[in-house]
């Protein structure tokens, strides 16, 4: 039988240990948010199909029957690996004269020079932060119709099937 004092001491040590472990686990998370090259921006809400997508500066969704937004980052591994796929998308989504528009979107954390060095060969838009658009990681690809409604979205590298689906949906809208 342990005395009450020892039991209390064990309890305190166990509580402190839990707090230390939790702090250790939270450190990478904090590091991730304080990283200078890319901020997670802590998106409060997730992307939602069927919802109105916030307006991007200098872009009118009604100008095209569909808009494909590629939320990218100059330090993003998958974004760099998929550059040629993104370029090909422009051609794939063409439907006569009324083709869907494809834009690369970067946050202000990326300099114009770094964006240029990516050699995307796509029209580019810079926004202050991604959280306004419910985007919390790159690459995130959002398909929007001419009314500004989200028709679908993809996170990460597009598989061959996902690329086919994106192109099909962009043409069907």
Q: Is 20 in the site for other proteins (CB under 8 A)?
A: no
Find tokens 């099937």 and name the residue. Answer: 161
* Residues 6 or more apart whose Cβ sits within 8 Å of residue 170: 66, 68, 93, 100, 143
Dihedral angle sign, alpha carbons of residues 32, 35, 37, 41: positive
**Closest to other proteins by CB, 46 or 112:** 46
Which range in 57-65, 89-97, 116-124, 128-136 contacts other proteins by CB under 8 A? 128-136
38 binds other proteins (CB under 8 A): yes
Instruction: Identify which range of 69-77, 85-93, 105-113, 119-127 contacts other proteins by CB under 8 A.
Output: 69-77
Q: Categorise residue 134: left if φ over 0, alpha if ψ from -120 to 50, beta otherwise.
A: left
In the DSSP assignment, the letter for residue 131 is G
> Is residue 36 part of the contact set for other proteins (CB under 8 A)?
no
Near other proteins by CB under 8 A: residue from 6, 16, 20, 29:
29
Q: Is residue 127 a contact point for other proteins (CB under 8 A)?
A: no
User: Which of these ranges, 40-48, 83-91, 107-115, 120-128, lies near other proteins under the rule CB under 8 A?
Assistant: 40-48
What values do phi and psi take at 41, rounded to 5?
Answer: 70, 0
Alpha-carbon distances, residue 32 vs 40, 80, 95, 143 (angstroms): 8, 20, 41, 28
Judged by the rule CB under 8 A, the positions of this chain that interact with other proteins are 11, 14, 17-18, 21-22, 25-26, 28-29, 32, 35, 38, 40, 43, 45-50, 73, 75-80, 134-140, 152-157, 159-162, 165
């Amino acid at each position: 039988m342990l005395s009450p004092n020892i039991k209390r001491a064990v309890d305190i040590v166990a509580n402190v240990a839990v707090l230390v472990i939790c702090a250790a686990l939270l450190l990478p998370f904090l590091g991730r948010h304080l990283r200078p090259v890319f901020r997670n921006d802590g998106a409060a809400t997730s992307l939602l199909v069927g919802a109105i997508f916030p307006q991007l500066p200098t872009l009118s969704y009604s100008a095209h029957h569909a808009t494909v937004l590629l939320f990218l980052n100059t330090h993003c591994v998958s974004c760099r690996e998929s550059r040629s796929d993104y370029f090909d998308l422009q051609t794939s989504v063409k439907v006569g004269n009324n083709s869907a528009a494809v834009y690369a979107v970067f946050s202000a954390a990326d300099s114009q020079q770094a964006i240029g060095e990516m050699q995307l060969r796509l029209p580019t838009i810079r926004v202050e932060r991604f959280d306004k658009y419910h985007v919390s990681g790159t690459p995130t690809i959002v398909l929007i119709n001419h009314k500004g409604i989200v028709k679908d979205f993809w996170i990460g590298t597009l598989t061959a099937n996902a690329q086919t689906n994106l192109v099909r949906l962009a043409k069907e809208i």
